[in-house]
Structure 1
């Protein structure tokens, strides 16, 4: 094979040979640097980061403890089981209807056995839900009452004292919970509704409190009355702005806008009858609404 042809391509000048040598040395140095250099990034420890990590561990621990907690079981009076509550407990529609029909006669069940007799639920369901039942103290201590009745004829009782009727606007949660059928939840709703309205102006407003049965409302009307406080700040329907009117619980924004429009086109309102002419005005609440307004 004749290599003379390639010889001319392999002939380098002095400067070219020096350049190739320098390039070779650079490659070797770079390779050695890459081989022995430490490219790991040293992470700086930040005090704030350590603090946040400690805080996150505490949060994770609290979540774990919270997840291990058993749910709180609340006892309830079975006389006031609603359709939804009965459904959640596993009762059929017919069983719930039997209880509601029994309660419409103003009767009460006073034991788990009576509850089963009225509703007709199975023994297995009764065993499941009866531990959740809570009857009033006088029912649970009925045996003590019977023993006291035996001495009725021998004890001289004072003349019956007329029950004091309290102002619903001054009632505390403890006062409300003395009413049969009202617990902590319903009493809180009543007080919250009073706070939203500023005060109650009629006992009929108890119908606006969600969860109050007609029987409980009747009990409230028997033991409480309404005394409108002099500090009640009434809404001047002729001067109030759209925002002020829309914040009134009985007025929605659309109705408040119609009131302002009607007022600007027809002049001031003179009474609740003028106001009732507006479309979608809650006429059935007119008497109550009028006590919150002035003209």
Structure 2
């Protein structure tokens, strides 16, 4: 018991130390309780930084949205492809009408004729027609508006048939050397001939500017005779050999064929889930259902 009491006995110096310690603790508690350590200046700076950051994020979002919108440059509507037409907002029937008109050797020479041929509505025509760029000789006031044949075009602008040019002809264009010329010829062979002018842009590693130069001198004036593949009798490997088909799409086509037993029309391919409608007209060049 004496031992226990000894632990609670303090001399005068110790009691004074304990008293001042308690007094110091109370003093510190009073400071934290009565003194405001918050800073309006700091909060104001933080708020300004947040607003500035938000404005910067909004600006970046606007730039990103603008970049996502396809930019339209002046173009000749005679050379609208299925992909280009899809980008412009044209329907499949409207694109097919244009391609059928061009396949007959005819050219569109005015905005009015474009609408009459394709059947596009007034609102779409108003949106895309400002970008139409026709050759100067078609906009002359002395020329009566009418379809011009490819022969007439060739005489006016002296373009050669791209399906008959040689590698040496291509090398005459600034920017095309032996390798690029061979690559264009090889791709033409793989396609069995160019059917659409814009197929030149598909040549691997061919710059768009150089491809545009090619089309200034050469164009499709004689459609190639493509050996079509019967989709109902062809093998998987034969269909896969088509330029515009990959393994997954070929597999989908064969799965669909197995479901329906026999494909009656190539148009049925549009019913396949995930089928690239923008490439349909190109793919249809190589397939037949009869």
With normalisation by structure 1, the TM-score equals 0.42
Higher-Rg structure is 1
Task: Give the TM-score normalised by structure 2.
Answer: 0.42
Larger RCO (alpha carbons 8 Å, 6+ apart) = 2
